[in-house]
Chains A and B, each alone.
Chain A
Amino acid sequence: MSMFGKKIRRREQDFYLQITSLIDTLVIILVFMLMTVGTGSVNLEMASNIALPWAHAGAELPQGVKLIAKLDGIYLDQEKIVPMKDGVVPGDAVSEGGKKIVGLFQKMAKLAAESKKAADESKLKFEGKVLMQADKAVPLKTVKQVLYTSARAGYNDFKFAVLKQ
């Protein structure tokens, strides 16, 4: 007698695990994961606190030096190189009539020298590729300064990382 006064009749049954639905679910998850796994040659993480512009289409992102231009500064491989205010490089941080960003040039020139040396040792060609993530509010003037500085340091192949719409 149970507490509700009803007899619970328990039948003797074989244990039966319904795995069909479970397998269906797993297959869906598996297909989804396979479809979304990137096949690109580079795994570029989107920088934090940055609003990237979007585009309808673009090319795959290759390997390269990762430059980030946020409103508060320019970062080279996650390291803040040049502080900025509202995306503008301070006047004392530039040379050659405002075209070249001194701190960034020094870092990139050093990096280029190391990369060229490593490329020579492994008999490869130094390609000088730059992957640039820039906040959409950064002025064109700053972008041009970064391009000019990078080109002077030996990096001539630029790719702007944007969101695919």
Chain B
Amino acid sequence: MLKQIEGSRAVAEAVALCRPEVICAYPISPQTHIVEALGELVKGGELSSCEFINVESEFAAMSVAIGAAAAGARSYTATASQGLLFMAEAVYNAAGLGLPIVMTVANRAIGAPINIWNDHTDVMSQRDCGWILLFAETNQEALDLHIEAFRLAQALSLPVMVCMDGFILTHAYERVDMPSQEQVDAFLPPFDPRQVLDPARPVSMGAMVGPEAFMEVRYLEHVRQMRALELIPGWAEQFRDAFGRDSGGLLHAYRTEDAETIVVALGSVLGTIKDTVDEMRARGERIGVLGITCFRPWPANTVRDALAGAKRIVVVEKSIAVGLGGIVSANVRTSFAGHADTVYTVVAGLGGRSITRQSLARVFASAAAGTLPPLTFLDLDHGLVERALARERDTRHSGPVAEGLLRDVGLVAARIS
């Protein structure tokens, strides 16, 4: 059924269609509307046989999800930013224990300086925690990925994060096709846990494991996650047959046939990139886009095949490994047969900085001309940076960086973008 609704509402309704039995959450922008909507659905009786548990922190949210999943309940939570960091220890535990929890991450920057806007720094901090990481390009894909995530999680006994860009998707109203309960029931089998806490058949979960078997536990976790690379493509086809649209899968290639330049990105920025690529294609430039839907496990071979014909790769990423550069591009480099020097990193949109077609077209053209530096910060205000550096040169007591920059920038509220 077609609806014009907010992304958060769409995800909440999709999660409800997956019949979770325990939802535990602590509110944090921009995740709040998702869990508020789910709370209403539980309270209003539309989502029955589900307990909604208000907890006192994100650490508690993940801990309750772990307990609920261990008891055999289909469990869901959602968070963002500092909330994800605060639950980090339990996030690793959920993966190590092999518990099929589904969590939405409404991607947001991490402080300091405190910033509520979108980027991918939050999820990238947890990229190697053992969870499967899926990234949504649109609100339609965000809701669809949750349905696929519950199936994937319970099939592999692994937790899955569905990442959607905070505000840009969570707070956007757009058209979505909401599936029926019957369609979701037919796609998502009942939860049959591989391990369950049952007084009648006692087991120990979370046993201490010494050097004699710890490596094997981690190895099996890796093997289990890599199994997702085999399952996801087939399930994406099943999803298309059942729901009539392409959502999920490992990657989305767009106009990459004969492309000399391929732009790689994750999440909602892919839409703006596709519009930019269309404009450049119309001018005769051979450029295409590769969207990474499944970031963990890393689909190395599929990425390598998709990039095989390209001369250069431009990775547009909303995160930075301080002291290294790109995170996504470091992954891409492992899966590109061409020279590593032809994989360019463009760090963009940090802390909610707008990513425009105009700026993207400029860096893509620069890459094609061979003039793009290996690491670029899109629309960095060089004047602002110079003033801060000058302050630091001029005086030892230059004070807090953020305060100095804000003073230089002036009144922000008067700006349009």
A and B are interacting partners: no
Enumerate chain B interface residues (CB-CB to A < 8 A). Answer: none
